[in-house]
Amino acid sequence: MLAHKVMPGNRPSTSILAPRLTPSVIGQLIALYEHQVFVEGVIWGINPFDQWGVELGKTQAKALLGTITQADAPASDDDSSTNELVAWYRSHRGRAV
């Protein structure tokens, strides 16, 4: 398989969690990511708007959507970091892990 179409998981990442999604939190997230994307692209000499990465992210998000939104969906069968994020989301939405 092509390297840009593989996502093995358990890689370092930043997860930002908030108990409530308010206009202030949304504004803070937008500002944070605008700066982060630009700075990382400059530092690493990469195109942060790479379409392959965007498409891979969409595919991964669609695969995970049912796990976090459907009441009867089983627990995620992904890597440990994804499972922990799903567990946090479910616990803060009043859904059992």
Residues 4-58 pLDDT 10s = 888 787 888 888 899 899 999 999 999 998 898 889 999 999 887 777 878 888 8
Do the beta carbons of residue 4 and residue 52 sit within 8 Å?
Answer: yes
> pTM value?
0.47
Phi, psi of 10 (to 5 degrees): 50, 45
* Distance of alpha carbon 81 from alpha carbon 87, whole angstroms: 10
* Distance of alpha carbon 52 from alpha carbon 15, whole angstroms: 22
pLDDT of residue 76: 62
* Contacting residues for 23 by C-beta, under 8 A, at least 6 apart: none
